[in-house]
Amino acid sequence: MASVTLKCRKCRFPLLNSSKTPLLSVHNEYVQSEVVLKPNIENDCTRIKDEFFFQENGLPQWVVQKLDEANWLRGKLNCPKCSARLGAFDFVTGQRCPCSKLVVPPIHIVKSKIDCCFESPALCGANSSHVIEKTPD
């Protein structure tokens, strides 16, 4: 499984790496790098194509800081560099996914607010504006 780095779409600040902070679907399942490019909507709710979800373990420091500021209740996630809104968290409500099977993980980032870069940091240059995937050798 290739590692995925999420960067702010506005300023390209590296937000997190999937090898340290696993990406989850709305059903709390690990998202593989192939699903980042082409989500399997038949096997998951439609929110997977719009958002990445996270559990509270293994989060980057900037997210933990936002959670601490809001006393781990609810709030918005902004880029630590440019303050662009990226997502939100809600530990109070416990929302269910659209199919009503499971409770949605409490932290999410909206895919349209980030760029996904795969495997090699060299492939994620400052001028990249779309998803890049490393080709197999």
Mind listing the pLDDT tens digit for each residue in 47-96?
556 888 888 888 999 999 999 999 999 999 999 999 999 999 998 887 77
At 79 the pLDDT is 97
At 86 the pLDDT is 97
**Looking at the predicted structure, is the pLDDT value of residue 28 above 70?**
yes
Is position 128 within any domain? Answer: no
Structural domain for 29, as ranges = 4-123
Buried-exposed string 4-21: b where 16+ CB fall within 10 A, e elsewhere: bbbbbbbebeebbebeeb
Query: And the tokens for 47?
Result: 């929110």
What mean pLDDT is reported for the chain?
Answer: 76
Is position 95 within any domain? Answer: yes
Mean pLDDT of 5-27: 87
Mean pLDDT of 117-125: 58
Is position 137 within any domain? Answer: no
> What is the strand order of the sheet 51-54 is part of?
51-54, 107-110, 85-90, 74-78
At 96 the pLDDT is 75
| Structural domain count of the chain | 1
pTM of the complete model? 0.72
Q: How far apart, in Å, are the Cα atoms of 66 and each of 9, 31, 91, 116?
A: 19, 24, 13, 22
Q: How far apart, in Å, are the Cα atoms of 91 and each of 42, 104, 110, 117?
A: 28, 10, 17, 29
